[in-house]
Amino acid sequence: MQVGELPTPALLVDAALLEHNLTTMARALGGRLRPHVKAHKCTALARRQAEAGATTFTCATIREVEGMAARGLGEDLLLANEVLDATRLGRLKARVTVAVDSEATVLAAARAGVREVLIDVDVGLPRCGCPPEEASRLARLARTRGLTVRGVMGYEGHAVGIPDRNLRAELTEQAMSILVAAHAEVGGEVISAGGTGTYDLNPWASEIQAGSYALMDTAYARLDLPFRQALSILATVISVSPRGHAVLDCGLKALGMDHGKPELAGDHEVLLVSDEHLTFLPRGRVQVGDRLRVLPAHVDPTVAYHERMHLVDGERVIETWEVDLRGW
């Protein structure tokens, strides 16, 4: 199939750029990489990451853990998220570690038969994570409930997207000083942290949970990173106005917008995005039926809107991969 034959909007992945990204990260981190599958929600892509050397993976949902295990990718899966019903995890024939940050989540893991946990520590991002001074107490509770505490995790998400590299590095060091101190109290062999924006600025973590590097987006493309934007959405011009604007069939239901507007290949100016439409100001002549590439600002939610992604080489579709880890 040719790219031009695909119904739009269609999620495209440039095969050469994907390979560049996977190889670049594997060379940089080697065995420290624990790729986060929430960024692509696709076991076929996860297998490519495994072929590039990844033997452990990070997940955000129980559904992701189940899907990875079902595809034979369950050698060492981390659910880097708190859950209060871990029953489905306890049934899996895979190595599953769960993040915990409270008595309730510790007890939920123990009840479900989960065997291993990481103590999730608040290192500055206002999301999950226990206060650092609570980490050792939770570790003791977990051990009394028969759980193995593998170590700690913490996400410096407030730092990963900062354009100023020096400030990004400074905030990462501050966050990791908190996590390292907590680890000294908790014990275990694992300090799990990091993301695409700080993958090379975090020598303190024993493993890096980077995910967006594989496909990339325009938000991360603004940073000084060696990864390329492999992901785009093929869209069709469905209307051209005499007032000067044109419209694509790619709107909010196909794009993650929390990191800002998408960009268009060809330097067209995006004006607004609504439910099913992207209105833009053309830089040159366009006509109804033309096809353009839309570059999303945030890869994770963008992929989750789509049922499949198409691996392409120029105008040729090489493979079609199901986005099979969607949902909960």
Cα–Cα nearest to 231, from 86, 41, 104: 41
The confidence score (pLDDT) of residue 105 equals 98
- Same-domain check for residues 35 and 145: yes
- Same-domain check for residues 102 and 208: yes
- Same-domain check for residues 270 and 308: yes
The confidence score (pLDDT) of residue 37 equals 98
The confidence score (pLDDT) of residue 267 equals 85
- Same-domain check for residues 268 and 144: no
Report DSSP state, residue 161.
Answer: T
Residue 114 belongs to a domain = yes
73 token code pair: 């990718």
Residues contacting 27, CB < 8 A, separation 6+: none
Range of the domain at 253: 3-11+227-322
- Decide which of 159, 183, 215 is a domain's last residue: 215
- Decide which of 194, 215, 236 is a domain's last residue: 215
- Same-domain check for residues 22 and 7: no
Residues contacting 259, CB < 8 A, separation 6+: 161, 217, 218, 219, 297, 298
- Same-domain check for residues 98 and 190: yes
3-state SS, residue 192: strand
The pTM of the full predicted model, rounded to 2 decimals, is 0.96
> For the segment 155-213, what is each residue's pLDDT rounded down to a tens digit?
999 999 999 999 999 999 999 999 999 999 999 999 999 999 999 999 999 999 999 99
3-state SS, residue 169: helix
What is the rounded (10 degree) CA torsion for 266, 271, 273, 277?
-70
Q: Across the strands, what pairs with 295?
A: 263
Domain CATH number, residue 233: 2.40.37.20
Residue 32 belongs to a domain = yes
**Number of domains composing the chain:** 2
Q: Which residues of the chain have pLDDT under 70?
A: none
Residue 327 belongs to a domain = no
Residue 328 belongs to a domain = no
d(CA 93, CA 89): 9
- Decide which of 215, 243, 271 is a domain's last residue: 215
